[in-house]
Structure 1
C-alpha cells in the first residue's frame, strides 16, 4: 500500500486531505505536534476502513527528520509528501518580533525544505510519487500586515518552482497549491481575520485540491 506523509495533519486542511486520500486507498502517515489530535484523525480514518499511523515530529529539526525518515523508509511504501504545516503572525511590519519571524521561517520554509530533501531521493528511486507544498495566495502577492508571513510563503514558492524544474525529467511530480484563507484553527490565535464566515471550509478546499491533482500549480482564489 502506498503511503502519503501529511504534516499538520491534526486539524484543518491537513486533516481533510488525510480523509480524502484515505478514501482513495492510500495509507496516511500523519505528522503534527499534538499526538492526541493526530490519533483522533487516525481513528476516524480507520473507522472508514482506511489505514493511518501517527507521529509527533518537530519539522524544524533536521536531525529529527532524518531519524524519522530512516525509521519509516523500511516500514512503508513512501509515495507522497504534503507539506501542509504552517504558522502565521500578523500585524504591522515594525511590530513583528524576531521570535515570530524565526518561527515562521523555521516552520514554513525549513520544515518543507528538510522533509523534501529527506524524501525526494526515495521517490526518484521508486520512479513514482509526488511532493505537494501548500503555499497559500500569500506566496503570490504582498499583503498588508502580512510581511513576515508573505516572506516565508514567497520562499517556499521559490523552493517549489525550483524543484519543479530540477525534477521535471524524473517521474516525481512537484506540486504547488495557492489558496486563500480557510475557516480553520489557524486563525484562532490572532485577530487578523475577524469574520471567518466568509472563508471556505478546509473540507471544500481539500476536495478542490484532490480534484485537480493532475495540475502542477493549483490556484484557488
Structure 2
C-alpha cells in the first residue's frame, strides 16, 4: 500500500510511519525535510520512503505537494492526517496570531490536504483528532474548537464518501511528545502514553471501524 502521513517529522507521526512501514510505500510529509529524513533513517521494512516538505497551511504548497506525489505514485491508498499544533491558555490571553496558527494548521491544513489529494485516494482517510475533539478542556478552548471542527469534518466525510473511501477518526489523550515543549500547560508529560504505544494501538484497532478511541 501507498501511505501518506502528515506531521511525520516527530512524535506520533514518526511512530505511525514506523508501525505502518512493513511492506508499504511511505510518503512522509512535514515542514522540516531534515526531521523527515531523521524519521526515514529510523524506519525498517518499508518498500520505499519518500520525504516531501510542505506547509499544509499554504494552499499553493499543498497543490505543489500533490504534483510531487504524482511524480512518485499515480495514486495513494491511505492518507493519515496527523499534523497538528497546540497553543494553550485562557481565551482572553490568546494572541490573534496563535489562534490563527491553531486553526490554520489543525483545521484548514487537514482540509486542504484532504481536498487536494482526494482524487488520488483509493482506500482510506485517517484523521488523528485527540480527545479534545470529544469534550472541552480548561485552557484549551481554541485547540478544542479546532479538534471539534475536524470531528465534524470526519463525520461528514464518512457520509459523503460512503461506499468509496473509508474514513477513520482517531481520538487519543495526551502523549509524551515534543508537542508540549513550548508550553507549561502540562506540568508532567511523563504520565502520558508514549507515541510508540499510541501508534501501536492505532494500528491494532485499525480494523475497519470508523472510530478509534484510545
Tell me, what secondary structure is at the counterpart of 1:80?
strand
Alignment partner of 1:113 out of 97, 111, 114: 111
Q: CA deviation at 1:73?
A: 2.0
Corresponding residue for residue 51 of structure 2: 54
How do 1:103-142 and structure 2 match up within 5 A?
A: 103-123=101-121, 128-142=122-136
Distance, in Å, in 1 between the alignment partners of 2:71 and 2:179 is 34
Does residue 1:159 correspond to 2:156, yes or no?
A: no
Deviations 1:136-163 (CA, angstroms, capped at 9, x unpaired)? 0000001110001001111111101000
Distance, in Å, in 2 between the alignment partners of 1:35 and 1:108 is 20
Corresponding residue for residue 174 of structure 1: 167
Corresponding residue for residue 73 of structure 1: 70
How do 1:1-221 and structure 2 match up within 5 A?
A: 2-23=1-22, 25-45=23-43, 48-50=44-46, 51-76=48-73, 77-123=75-121, 128-170=122-164, 172-214=165-207, 215-220=209-214
Q: CA deviation at 1:3?
A: 1.6
Q: CA deviation at 1:49?
A: 3.9
The normalised TM-score by structure 2 is 0.95
Q: CA deviation at 1:74?
A: 4.2
Tell me, what secondary structure is at the counterpart of 1:60?
coil
Q: CA RMSD in A?
A: 1.1
- Which stretches in structure 1 are left out of the alignment for 5+ residues? none
Tell me, what secondary structure is at the counterpart of 1:129?
strand
Q: CA deviation at 1:70?
A: 2.0
The normalised TM-score by structure 1 is 0.92
Tell me, what secondary structure is at the counterpart of 2:21?
helix
Q: CA deviation at 1:22?
A: 0.7
- Which stretches in structure 2 are left out of the alignment for 5+ residues? none
Deviations 1:22-46 (CA, angstroms, capped at 9, x unpaired)? 12x111111111111110111222x
